[in-house]
Amino acid sequence: MTEFDPEKFEDKYQHYFPELQRAYRQAFESMRDRYDSELVHAIDQQVLAESEPFYEGDGRFRVELPADPEDRLSGVVVDEEKLGVVLDRYRVELETQLRSVFGLNEGHS
């Protein structure tokens, strides 16, 4: 596991690209097991591909989604309420996976 350095996370794609890919992949796998795989795949490809993870400090991450994520989805039919629930859950799962991949699950509040 790569030693996490919050300052290096500012340039995350240069320093932590493999770890970011792993966290996104693990979140995708987890979500695909629990929700409609077509919807999860569409969110992964059409919304999360444009998301931006940020390190908030104290072992916490925040994933910022692009504006109007519901307008980005095509090829899948889902009502706005269900999409909101799944997107929120996906974001939480991704933040959890980022903490896990960077070894920040324990010892941080």
Domain boundaries along the sequence of the chain: 8-101
Banded model confidence at residue 108, pLDDT cuts 50, 70, 90: very low
Note if the pTM is more than 0.85. Answer: yes
- The whole-number pLDDT of residue 105 equals 80
The per-residue DSSP string of the chain comes to -PPP-TTGGGGHHHHSHHHHHHHHHHHHHHHHHHS-HHHHHHHHHHTGGG-EEEEEETTEEEEEPPS-HHHH--S----HHHHHHHHHHHHHHHHHHHHHHTT-SSS--
Q: pLDDT digit string (tens) for 75-102?
A: 898 998 999 999 999 999 999 999 999 9
Q: pLDDT digit string (tens) for 10-61?
A: 999 999 999 999 999 999 999 999 999 999 999 999 999 999 999 999 999 9
